[in-house]
């Protein structure tokens, strides 16, 4: 794959993850509430760990796109699985992806 394409894609995806992390960090109570509404365990802890994980993934995408890409795929699979499960059970609440 051309280096320019890998670099551009990595930086764009890093921007998305960093924006998601920053939004969650700006509203930790809202993030905690959303995680709790999703039925996730320990929303207080997750409201701190999730934005840190998103920010770390963003950093990895810039420093080492291969490792960062693997982290990004893992996060996106987890997010997609969670949201698909919620939709399948009739929940239509906002995902909270950006806070």
Domain ranges of the chain: 3-88
Residues 6+ away with beta carbon under 8 Å from 17? 54, 55, 57, 58, 61, 72, 75
In the chain, the N- to C-terminal Cα span, in Å, equals 33
pLDDT tens-digit readout, 67-94 = 999 999 999 999 999 999 989 999 887 7
State residue 99's pLDDT score: 58
The first and second tokens of residue 27, run together, are 């509203």
């Amino acid at each position: 794959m051309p280096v320019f394409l890998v670099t551009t894609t990595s930086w764009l995806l890093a921007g998305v993850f960093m924006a998601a992390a920053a939004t969650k960090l700006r509203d930790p109570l809202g993030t905690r509430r959303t995680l709790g509404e999703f039925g996730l365990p320990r929303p207080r802890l997750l409201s701190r760990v999730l934005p840190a994980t998103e920010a770390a993934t963003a950093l990895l995408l810039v420093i080492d796109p291969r490792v960062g890409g693997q982290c990004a795929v893992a996060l996106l699979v987890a997010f997609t699985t969670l949201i698909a499960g919620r939709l399948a059970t009739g929940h239509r609440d906002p995902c909270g992806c950006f806070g």
